[in-house]
């Protein structure tokens, strides 16, 4: 897997990012391919609302890089501007302006001049709704009535068949909602969309279907879990989940049922490969006596539970759908962790060492349910008795 790199994306990385997004890859998959965190990928996508920006093209009227290279060679050879203009079939005034605005005869460089022209050509194009206030108001009103962009577009075509100024495609409405730079329709209108999501997904994407799906291949129900897990009589039985932050960032949390001892696990994404490999890494640091079972919710991030069990010898059981109380210790601990990770916090910047420090703080607090022993003290007591 590629290592995480510094912030910022090159032009080629952005092209690959959008190509993979259009193919339906998840944020974590794209992040691994580019050596970036999933949160960084999410940040780039959010600016454009998940809609890939159009490829930039040059007008035939502007100078090309090859023409600028001819100008540079001509200047180096001491040719006159008239002679150079004739060589590239351009007017003398065009060549004169080009050389004058880019350092003159002695400092002109083709690549520098071309980059400057390319940067100066970046002008935001005003969208249709920004130019037509009446149409903008109609679209906003229909969105408030929970109409979909496609319904609005179809209704406008039927309502104003002979007025092209009052017609708009559903894709343009989506762009106006999702692309941050446009700011034509208020962000609050997004909540009226069926999905309520903040960006467009590729039609090839399987991420949402995977996240909504509650069935996991060969999942073993919590109802088949040994009785010793329920009564907390034996150590080594864990409950787990992910807590989520901004920019699609996550941390895995594990709580030992008898001692309430907590482990925090740094993960590089919500996909099952990232989560399972991270859990294996940390769980395998435990002594064998503390590795018996893990109870998880129905999230697809543990779809690779068989791989986890083979690697750790820990059997995984899954809760019933929408039944968080079946992992009550973990749910309570996650609420305590919000003191350190408030909702909306970007969780991608925390290292495993930093998470271990926070887990230590939590594990050293006395707990009423443990008769005011701390989870660390309780676990040490358990280990001493079983050792």
Distance CA 54, CA 6 (A): 26
Q: 43 falls in which pLDDT band (50, 70, 90)? A: confident
Distance CA 102, CA 119 (A): 14
Q: In this predicted structure, what is the pLDDT of residue 22?
A: 80
Minimal CA–CA distance to 366: which of 357, 356, 377?
Answer: 377
Measured CA to CA in angstroms, residue 378 lies from 215, 293, 329, 386 at distances of: 36, 19, 15, 12
Name the more confident of 275 and 10.
275
Beta-strand relationship, 315-318 and 262-266: unpaired
Q: In this predicted structure, what is the pLDDT of residue 175?
A: 72
Q: 124 falls in which pLDDT band (50, 70, 90)? A: low
Q: In this predicted structure, what is the pLDDT of residue 191?
A: 64
CA torsion through residues 373, 375, 376, 377, sign = positive
Query: Above 80 in pLDDT, residue 4?
Result: no
Name the more confident of 142 and 54.
142
Q: Report, as an integer, the average pLDDT of 180-186.
A: 54
Q: In this predicted structure, what is the pLDDT of residue 42?
A: 78
Query: Above 70 in pLDDT, residue 200?
Result: no
Pick from 11-15, 151-155, 382-386: least confident: 382-386
Answer for the pair 88, 82: CB distance below 8 angstroms, yes or no.
Answer: no
Query: Above 80 in pLDDT, residue 181?
Result: no
Measured CA to CA in angstroms, residue 310 lies from 45, 218, 276 at distances of: 36, 14, 11
Inter-axis angle of helices 27-34 and 272-283, to 10 degrees?
A: 70
User: 278 φ, ψ to 5°?
Assistant: -70, -40
Most confident of 13-27, 130-144, 153-167: 153-167
Residue 244's contacts (CB-CB under 8 Å, 6 or more residues apart) are 250, 270, 347
Q: 204 falls in which pLDDT band (50, 70, 90)? A: low
Q: Report, as an integer, the average pLDDT of 10-29.
A: 82
Distance CA 92, CA 97 (A): 9
Name the more confident of 265 and 158.
265
Q: In this predicted structure, what is the pLDDT of residue 211?
A: 42
Minimal CA–CA distance to 185: which of 244, 231, 144?
Answer: 144
Domain ranges for the chain: 1-50, 65-120, 128-192, 222-386
Q: 208 falls in which pLDDT band (50, 70, 90)? A: very low
Pick from 170-184, 253-267, 278-292: least confident: 170-184
Q: Where are the beta strands (DSSP E) in the chain?
A: 237-244, 250-256, 262-266, 293-296, 315-318
Q: In this predicted structure, what is the pLDDT of residue 198?
A: 56
DSSP state of 190: G
| Average of per-residue pLDDT values in the chain | 83
Query: Above 80 in pLDDT, residue 84?
Result: yes
Reported as a single tens digit per residue, the pLDDT across 90-117 is: 999 999 999 999 999 999 999 999 988 8
Q: 233 falls in which pLDDT band (50, 70, 90)? A: confident
Name the more confident of 200 and 230.
230
CA trace torsion 21, 26, 32, 35 (10° rounding): 50
The pTM score is 0.53
Residue 212's contacts (CB-CB under 8 Å, 6 or more residues apart) are none
Query: Above 90 in pLDDT, residue 119?
Result: no
Residue 47 has which token pair? 């600016």
Query: Above 90 in pLDDT, residue 135?
Result: no
Give Dmax over CA atoms of the chain in angstroms: 95
SS3 267: coil
SS3 357: helix
Residue 54's contacts (CB-CB under 8 Å, 6 or more residues apart) are none
Q: Report, as an integer, the average pLDDT of 28-45.
A: 81
Minimal CA–CA distance to 282: which of 300, 303, 261, 298?
Answer: 261
Residue 206's contacts (CB-CB under 8 Å, 6 or more residues apart) are 24
Query: Above 70 in pLDDT, residue 209?
Result: no
Distance CA 239, CA 317 (A): 9
Q: 74 falls in which pLDDT band (50, 70, 90)? A: very high
CATH architecture of 222-386: 2-Layer Sandwich (3.30)
Burial degree of 375 (CB within 10 A; 0-12, 13-18, 19+): buried
Q: Which residues pair with 262 in a beta bridge?
A: 255
Query: Above 90 in pLDDT, residue 33?
Result: no
Measured CA to CA in angstroms, residue 213 lies from 216, 218, 297 at distances of: 8, 14, 12
């Amino acid at each position: 897997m590629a290592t995480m790199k510094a912030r910022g994306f090159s032009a080629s990385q952005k092209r690959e990012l959008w190509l993979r997004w259009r193919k339906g890859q998840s944020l974590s998959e794209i992040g691994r391919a580019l050596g970036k965190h999933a949160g960084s990928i999410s940040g780039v996508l959010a600016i454009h609302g998940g809609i890939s920006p159009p490829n930039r093209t040059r007008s035939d009227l502007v100078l090309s890089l090859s023409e600028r290279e001819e100008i540079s060679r001509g200047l180096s050879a001491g040719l006159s501007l008239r002679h150079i203009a004739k060589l590239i079939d351009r007017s003398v005034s065009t060549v004169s302006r080009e050389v004058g605005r880019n350092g003159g005869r002695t400092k002109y460089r083709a690549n520098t001049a071309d980059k400057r022209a390319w940067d100066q050509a970046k002008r935001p194009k005003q969208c249709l709704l920004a130019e037509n206030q009446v149409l903008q108001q109609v679209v906003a009103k229909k969105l408030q009535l929970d109409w979909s962009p496609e319904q609005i577009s179809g209704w406008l075509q039927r309502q104003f068949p002979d007025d092209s100024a009052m017609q708009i495609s559903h894709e343009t409405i989506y762009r106006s909602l999702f692309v941050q730079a446009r700011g034509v329709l208020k962000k609050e209108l997004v909540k009226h969309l069926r999905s309520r999501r903040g960006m467009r997904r590729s039609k090839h994407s399987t991420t949402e279907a995977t996240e909504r799906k509650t069935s996991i291949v060969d999942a073993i129900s919590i109802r088949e879990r040994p009785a010793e897990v329920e009564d907390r009589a034996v150590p080594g039985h864990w409950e787990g989940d992910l807590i989520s932050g901004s920019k699609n960032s996550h941390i895995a949390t594990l709580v030992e049922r008898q001692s309430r001892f907590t482990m925090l696990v740094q993960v590089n994404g919500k996909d099952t490969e990232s989560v399972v490999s991270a859990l294996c890494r940390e769980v395998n640091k435990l002594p064998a006596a503390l590795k018996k079972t893990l109870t998880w919710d129905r999230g697809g991030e543990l779809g690779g539970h068989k791989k986890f069990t083979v690697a750790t010898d820990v059997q995984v059981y899954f809760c019933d759908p929408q039944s968080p109380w079946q992992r009550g210790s973990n749910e309570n601990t996650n609420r305590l962790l919000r003191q350190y990770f408030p909702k909306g916090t970007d969780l991608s910047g925390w290292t495993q060492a930093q998470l271990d420090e926070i887990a230590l703080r939590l594990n050293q607090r006395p707990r009423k349910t443990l008769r005011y022993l701390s989870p660390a003290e309780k676990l040490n007591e358990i280990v001493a008795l079983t050792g």
